[in-house]
Amino acid sequence: MITQNAWPAPAKLNLFLHITGQLENGYHTLQTIFQFLDYGDSLNIEHNQSNEITLTSAVEGVSLQDNLIYRAAMLLKPFADKSAGARIEISKILPMGAGLGGGSSNAATTLVALNYLWDINLPLEQLATIGLELGADVPIFVQGFAAFAQGVGEELTPVSPPQPYYLVIWPGVAVSTQEIFQAPELPRNTPSLTLEQLSDATLSNDCQEITKNRHPMVASALDWLVEYAPAKMTGTGSCVFGEFESAQAAAHVLKKLPKTMHGFVAKGINTSPLAQKLAQLQQLNDQH
């Protein structure tokens, strides 16, 4: 049974992250591969005719006007009927400041869900452009396919990386993306690669050393995980991840995780759960 109310907001991993330059507006140009996880937050969205957006489980310490879910809904509202409203409840499991894209994913899910529920039917490309106002990672979650991303993260080329199981470790610290991108020691001139060059290139995360130096817990998590699998950091951190051939192999290592760290096992997927949900609903509509 597919319900219209429950909408997934999956996590993402950056399989590598190169910073290739900086624009005059302060944004950085980058190259990365985004892949989704079959793990994330979920939003329960009931649309109504109240003309109001209500959040029943707001994030602690974030005002309603600053909440990305609320902001996403308000950006879409001018396209909807005057009376369009929604009651949104979030089940939050993705930590903030973890490099998993939780806030961006929540915003994207809000845009995609309300575009459908309010019967606005904007194309995903237009929704992605609207989402870019909320953050550079929002378009990838709106589009819903694994991608080689360039520009500030909005130029997306679909790719099909392997879909292994990952052990993802959260070291228990939040990392400010802004802090890392403003760091004077951040490399800002990594040479750009073409998609064809990626398979032969040495790929890394240009933010990893800086985050490790500023957040010893991230360094500890990487040092621990590298004993079991090649360990990398996603985004600007704080989460680190390692690849495994099976869920059992990843779960076996998870059991050994030190008490100071938190972790979960998830499968890498190239079509996001949000895109899958939307496709199912549209298919049901076509049948009726």
Instruction: Verify that 92 and 180 share a domain, yes or no.
Output: no
Residue 271's pLDDT band, with cuts at 50, 70 and 90, is very high
123-153: burial string, b at 16+ Cβ within 10 Å, e else = ebeebbebbbebbbbbbbbbbbbbbbbbbbb
- Domain of 26: which CATH number? 3.30.230.10
Task: Kindly state whether residue 147 falls inside one of the protein's structural domains.
Answer: yes
Task: Kindly state whether residue 238 falls inside one of the protein's structural domains.
Answer: yes
60 has pLDDT over 80: no
Instruction: For the chain, give the mean pLDDT.
Output: 94
- Domain of 235: which CATH number? 3.30.70.890
Which structural domain range is residue 224 located in?
Answer: 165-269
Tens digit of each residue's pLDDT (9 = 90 or more) over 201-256: 999 999 999 999 999 999 999 999 999 999 999 999 999 999 999 999 999 999 99
Residue 119 burial by Cβ neighbours in a 10 Å radius (0-12, 13-18, 19+): exposed
Instruction: Verify that 264 and 132 share a domain, yes or no.
Output: no
Instruction: Verify that 179 and 106 share a domain, yes or no.
Output: no
Strands (E), the chain: 6-22, 28-48, 53-55, 85-91, 147-150, 155-158, 165-170, 231-233, 240-244, 262-269
Tens digit of each residue's pLDDT (9 = 90 or more) over 18-55: 999 998 888 899 999 999 999 999 999 999 999 999 99
Instruction: Verify that 156 and 170 share a domain, yes or no.
Output: no
Asked whether the beta carbons of 266 and 246 are under 8 A apart, the reply is no
Whole-number pLDDT of residue 85? 97
pTM, rounded to two decimals:
0.95
Number of domains in the chain: 2
Instruction: Verify that 150 and 40 share a domain, yes or no.
Output: yes
Which residues are known catalytic residues?
12, 137
Instruction: Verify that 141 and 14 share a domain, yes or no.
Output: yes
Task: Kindly state whether residue 146 falls inside one of the protein's structural domains.
Answer: yes
Instruction: Verify that 92 and 232 share a domain, yes or no.
Output: no
